[in-house]
Amino acid sequence: MAGQNQYNSRTLSTYLPSDTKIFALGGLGEVGKNTYCIECNDEIIIIDAGVMFPDDSLLGVDYVIPDYTYLIRNQKKIKALLITHGHEDHIGGIPYLLKVCSISDIYASKFAAGLIQKKLEEHRMSNRAVIHIINKDSRFTSKYFHIGFFDITHSIPDSYGLAIQTPNGWILSTGDYKFDLTPIGSNADYQRISYMGEFGIDLLMSDSTNSEVPGFSISEKTVAKSIDEIMEKTKGRIIIATFSSNVHRIQQIISAAIKFGRKICVIGRSMENVVQIARDLGHIKAKDDDFIEPTLLDSYQANKLCVLCTGSQGEPMAALSRIANGSHRFVTIIPGDTVVFSSNPIPGNASSVNGVVNNLTRLGAIVLTNSMLNNLHTTGHANKEEQKLMLQLVKPRFFMPMHGEYKMLRMHADTATEVGVPADHIFICANGDILVLRNHEVYMCDTNRIQTDDIYIDGNDSSGIATAVLKDRQVLANNGLVSVIVTINSQNNTILCRPNIVSRGFIFIKEGQELLRDAELVVYKAVRRKMAQKTTFGEIKNCIRESLEPYFYSKTHRNPIIIPVILNHIDGQALRKR
């Protein structure tokens, strides 16, 4: 489209304190760590605080969160953290944000609040913020912001979009949504969305996850029919894996199991937590007698059991992966078991899922995955035609696609032009870009950005690990480690004996003895030359690295991490005798 070149074309070089500024710390150009901020004068509101799960290149990393430096510096301005729904990519970063930033009030739906409270308890932060329960009739008001909420349909209960009134105009944020005309949970509030469109929305921020997928997404009721058919026809034990956060799907599975006389065994900590909270709040309707403990699985006939577990994405430590490799304490695959994947692999997880499927099949299980023949999963995000419907209902003057990788944002922008939004009124932003809403007009600031680096969470360390640490881990994974032990006498500046080299993960020791002996000689000569003049321990260590790195690369085309160890023996004569 010729109009594509006009995206981001409305710019200004400076903004005023009275302008309304919109920016993201996470969620643009990626799927995850959604954190959107709106600032006006001395007030900031934050919409969601999520995490992103690491890919295979981030070795040892548990989560990725945004850099909260800007919020830390301006925490006195923060008036509220508003949560659209309870998925990890929208609430998972809350404990890490609260550890570094003082936020007194969190506004969330009843179900999201239950998940957040559980998360804060695990981090021993229950009293760090007050969680206010919201519904579609709730209102949040501060000096510069007036915010209302509206129902949207998603794969988790109690999901809301936000309508935000600022001194410079109206902003509507859809959150994650889809339009399902026969939903399992509550319906989207079409009337309120349409009314706001008639009232006048200046800027629409809308979910872009499925902007590449044509048509309308299938309904959850269609998935329910497929699950019912499997429950009815399967003669043996059924093991179903799905996302623990997809409460509507879990309700369908539990309802179908009860309908066909099967006891439900829930396995996986996150699944257990979500099922318990959803039952407490009435989103999952089942009696205690419908569930059994894993220790009682052998007490029931196979055709009377349904195991509900985590691991639909092939996660190594999830319940289904441990079942597939035979390491689960309570569940062992019996030939004839039917294993159902009620999900689609997230991009990047296909090989892990295929590995689990193959292991299960080898053990004699019948494995069912989502396909044209089995409607075992549907998305919680709007497909292209649903995105068009949202744009038609809201009729925004300006549009910013959000929640998606760059290609998703770009295709959503193209869709907006198809339904009549002028290309020069569309902004494809990256994390840290600043949109300025001034007197009902939107511009991109082309001279200033917010700092938005990724912060990597490793274990319980909430401070984040440095990029250099990740680079070292990558080098260790690919090239291994070499430790060089050199013994010297610093009094007379001499090297006392031949260096000793120990390697791990670099070369096969038995086949590399000659290489290591030659490397020891290279180090010996280099250190001896260095110590012929006045030097320091640091210079000796650098000398060892500088001599070995090119030598190892020339022989192996690999660059291991080299760790020099200097032993300083003052009594050199005694060492030589020993």
- Give the three-class secondary structure for 143: coil
What is the pLDDT at residue 116?
96
pTM of the full structure: 0.82
Q: What is the pLDDT of residues 468-518, one digit of tens each?
A: 676 777 777 788 888 999 988 888 888 888 899 888 888 876 667 888 888
| Structural domains of the chain in order of their starting residue, each with its CATH number | 2-215+380-458 (3.60.15.10), 220-368 (3.40.50.10710), 467-577 (3.10.20.580)
* b/e sequence 195-234, b meaning 16+ C-beta within 10 Å: ebbeeebbbbbbbbbbbebeebbebbeebbebbeebbeeb
Distance CA 441, CA 168 (A): 8
Active site residue 454: no
The tokens for 185 are 């949970």
**Own/partner long-range contacts of 455-460 (Cβ < 8 Å, ≥24 apart):** 455/64, 455/65, 455/66, 455/67, 455/68, 455/96, 456/54, 456/58, 456/61, 456/63, 456/64, 457/51, 457/61, 457/62, 457/63, 457/64, 457/65, 457/96, 458/60, 458/61, 458/62, 459/62
Look at the block and give the residue holding tokens 């999900």: 343
- Give the three-class secondary structure for 430: coil
In single-letter form, the type of residue at position 104 comes to S
Q: What is the pLDDT of residues 55-81, one digit of tens each?
A: 666 666 778 899 999 999 999 999 999
DSSP 8-state class, residue 174? -
CB 436 within 8 Å of CB 442: yes
DSSP 8-state class, residue 101? S
The tokens for 70 are 């800007």
Task: Count CB-CB contacts under 10 A for residue 360.
Answer: 22
Q: Kindly give the pairing relationship between strand 481-489 and strand 494-495.
A: antiparallel
What is the pLDDT at residue 463?
62
Distance CA 48, CA 64 (A): 15
In single-letter form, the type of residue at position 138 comes to S
- Give the three-class secondary structure for 424: helix
What is the pLDDT at residue 278?
92
Residues belonging to the chain: 578
Active site residue 381: yes
Name beta bridge partners: 340: 240, 368
Mean pLDDT by 10 residues, the chain (578 residues): 74 93 96 95 97 74 88 96 96 94 95 94 91 96 97 94 97 96 90 93 96 92 90 93 90 94 93 92 92 92 93 84 91 92 76 90 91 75 96 97 95 96 96 96 93 79 63 78 88 85 81 84 89 86 89 86 85 54
- Active-site hit among 85, 90, 248, 381: 381
- Active-site hit among 67, 151, 202, 207: 207
Q: Kindly give the pairing relationship between strand 43-47 and strand 78-82.
A: parallel
